[in-house]
Every structure is written in structure tokens, then in C-alpha cells.
Amino acid sequence: MEDQAVPIIVGKKIRALRKAAGISQDALALGMDMARSFCGPLEEGEQNMSITTLVRIAKGLKVNACELLKDIGF
């Protein structure tokens, strides 16, 4: 897997988990204490994220941070 594919794969995982939980991007952003405009680019894989951001997203989704990296082909 190429490194630039990782943000896209993780972003799709974030979107899938968010939708499965019935959470809007607005609600996720609120749970992460971040601007809503931050969520879209992350879900599209247009933005790399730090480990801190990954943990904040996991908390917003109420999942373990490992769940966001599970089964992505590392």
C-alpha cells in the first residue's frame, strides 16, 4: 500500500463508523471539540492527521482508536 492511500482508507473508515453510529459531521465535530469544516477533508482523505487527532476522532465516535486502523492492510 502506498503511503498516500492511508489517509483515504482511514477517512473512509471514519465515515463508515460515523454513519453506522448515526452521527452527523456536526455532531462528530462537537464531540471532538473541533470545527465541522475539519471533518469533511479528513473523511475524504485530503488531510493527514496526527495521532492526537486520531484519538479525538475515536472519542467522538465512541470507539477505540485501534478500530480506525483495523483491517486497513498494514
| Mean pLDDT (10-residue bins), the chain, 74 residues | 81 95 93 87 91 93 92 72
pLDDT of the residue at 3 = 67
pLDDT of the residue at 38 = 87
Q: Which residues of 53-63 are buried (b: 16+ CB within 10 A; e: fewer)?
A: ebebbbebbeb
* Structural domains of the chain, ranges and CATH numbers in brackets: 5-66 (1.10.260.40)
pTM to 2 decimal places = 0.86
